[in-house]
Amino acid sequence: MGIETDAVQRYFDAWNSHDTSKILDSLTSDGTYSDPVGGNNLSGSNYEDYANSLFNAFPDLSLELISNNLASNGFVAAPWLLFGTHKGPVGDFAPTNNKIILPGCDFITVKDGKVQNVIGYFDSEYLFNQLK
């Protein structure tokens, strides 16, 4: 593994541990996160609040990297599958107990061995259809 993929693996391991302090520790001090549901350029406590809302909504949330990451010059493409059971509110969606599987991909910038920026891509309509 290279420095980029090591940083990305630590980031995904932190998510899978459901430990927001580990998630934030995997980021650079100016690290940001964006996705179609959570918003753009979340950082610090805003990102921590978003992660906690997902852990509340999906207490068994797990992310599985589905292929080798493509890494080059500090940039990583990390395709993943998210698994979880809908046990808490997600926006206007009350808990349904539905099991979800959501494919997506994070495009990650790594700097000095830490994640600096994550842009997550997934089909939010596909997610919301599973919550009905």
| pLDDT tens-place string over residues 32-47 | 999 999 999 999 999 9
pLDDT (average), residues 14-30? 97
CB-based contact 16:48 (threshold 8 Å): no
More confident position, 62 or 1: 62
14 pLDDT above the threshold of 90: yes
Q: Which two tokens mark 45? A: 């406590």
pLDDT for 2 equals 78
- The CA distances from residue 90 to 15, 69, 71, 79, in Å, are 18, 29, 32, 23
pLDDT tens digits along 58-117: 999 999 999 767 778 889 999 999 999 999 999 889 999 999 999 999 999 999 999 999
pLDDT for 1 equals 55
- State the Cα–Cα distance between residues 55 and 26, nearest whole angstrom: 18
pLDDT for 37 equals 93
pLDDT (average), residues 20-26? 97
pLDDT for 52 equals 97
31 pLDDT above the threshold of 90: yes
- State the Cα–Cα distance between residues 97 and 105, nearest whole angstrom: 25
